[in-house]
Structure 1
């Protein structure tokens, strides 16, 4: 019998179509658990997980990881669930609070602030249970479910980071991908992951009806979020977007520099 894989997925709304029916589809093939993106990346690195849906920046920074599926979390325009909220003009941000659940979006906002305004702000953490209202910073980065319900305060500028990246780069952006640690036998896994993704995309109305109310959204809002704000397949555009993000992040020393080009092909 094949090894029993320990598989970790993101616990945010944006993952719902990717993992639709996945636990049942895995059966005895693997065990599925959920956590924050940054914690999944830590558990994968420490060997507590064999496969995980991790922030794309973590994949780009660790050359031994291998993509195991073309099922990803990406966008081709506004993403809604990744936002920069600034109390000053974006070109005046000196102190930036980053949601601790994020690593890809944390790097993305720094890339955009540098490329658009030549800024390298001081970085401070924003914990998962900390209110953005109480952090001492000019701007805050929010991701996931709480970014979809920003605090009731007047901000001078609000950026949807998906929209900003896609307009600036004219490329899609990839937030998370399924990857495996080196030496892990993942044969047969990609078919299960992609079948769950495909079933999820065919069941968006059902997923929206099930999860919308508990997240303070209407069924229509959640359906449109899945169908219009997110993209779940790693195509040529996503490959080019991820490669461009890699180049920009390396140039700012946000991830290590490697001489060889990164392999963006899923197995």
Structure 2
């Protein structure tokens, strides 16, 4: 049985629609934070996981399993930089501990657009962002989707900033397997779950919205217009662009090609 890990955030729901049932007899599905999934995959505790894209570039002996991804082609809503000072004055940046791809992305944007290399401190999942002593805070996932309670000088949607700057999509997470794992039966299952999920966005939004403090129309709009779930040629170009900038900042050790099963 394959050990398969998926992200526990809302943005995963269309990718995992009916997936547990589709995996019957082939694999078992569990959920966790993106950063923890990456650690479990690297340590061999998982065979396949939906991991932050930055972790694919850091890993070795891994393969991309499916064209089902979490990406955006514009504002993403669920990844935000909240700055208490003008952007050019950020000296200390708190990074959501659930984030790795977005943590690298915000550092790339600050370095390339403002020449900034701020000190970074962790923002634990259980911490209130308003209590963190930092000039700016990076939030991802569900808690980034609600209006900020504090007073912020500027708020960035990182998907919007990247897409405007590069004119390319951004890929936040991908299904990745260890290279010695046979995923020949899994790849079509992941794509089929994604395709069915995209046909059931209204149902998913109606089921999930209330528990996350969102309206059904708002959540449906998030799934349908803020997120993109297919890895195409432009998404691959965006990944390569991200890889180059991450390597330039020393956030990844080496360049590697995208390896598909």
Q: TM-score, normalised by structure 1?
A: 0.96
1:181, CA displacement in angstroms? 1.0
The corresponding residue for 1:266 is 260
**4+ aligned runs moved over 3 Å, structure 1:** none
Q: Distance in 2 between matches of 1:134 and 1:154?
A: 12
Q: SS in structure 2 opposite 1:250?
A: helix
Aligned partners of 1:70 and 1:266 also within 8 Å: no
Q: After the TM superposition, which residues 1-267 of structure 1 pair with which residues of structure 2 at under 5 Å, given as runs? A: 4-258=1-255, 262-267=256-261
Q: SS in structure 1 opposite 2:25?
A: helix
Aligned partners of 1:132 and 1:151 also within 8 Å: no
1:187, CA displacement in angstroms? 1.2
Aligned partners of 1:55 and 1:177 also within 8 Å: yes
Q: Distance in 2 between matches of 1:212 and 1:232?
A: 20
1:265, CA displacement in angstroms? 4.9
Unpaired runs of at least 5, structure 2: none
Aligned partners of 2:171 and 2:239 also within 8 Å: yes
Q: Distance in 1 between matches of 2:217 and 2:189?
A: 28
Q: Distance in 2 between matches of 1:179 and 1:77?
A: 24
Q: Distance in 1 between matches of 2:16 and 2:120?
A: 33
Q: Distance in 2 between matches of 1:60 and 1:90?
A: 28
Q: Distance in 2 between matches of 1:189 and 1:263?
A: 22
- Give CA-to-partner distance per residue, 1:54-87, whole Å, 9 cap, x none: 0000001113210000000000000000000000
Q: SS in structure 2 opposite 1:98?
A: strand
Q: Distance in 2 between matches of 1:224 and 1:174?
A: 19
Q: Distance in 1 between matches of 2:94 and 2:61?
A: 30
- The count of aligned residue pairs is 261
Q: SS in structure 2 opposite 1:149?
A: coil
Aligned partners of 1:174 and 1:241 also within 8 Å: yes
1:164, CA displacement in angstroms? 0.2
Q: SS in structure 1 opposite 2:107?
A: helix
Q: Distance in 2 between matches of 1:24 and 1:257?
A: 38
Q: SS in structure 2 opposite 1:28?
A: coil
Q: Distance in 2 between matches of 1:192 and 1:21?
A: 10
Query: How well do the aligned residues superpose, as a CA RMSD in angstroms?
Result: 0.8
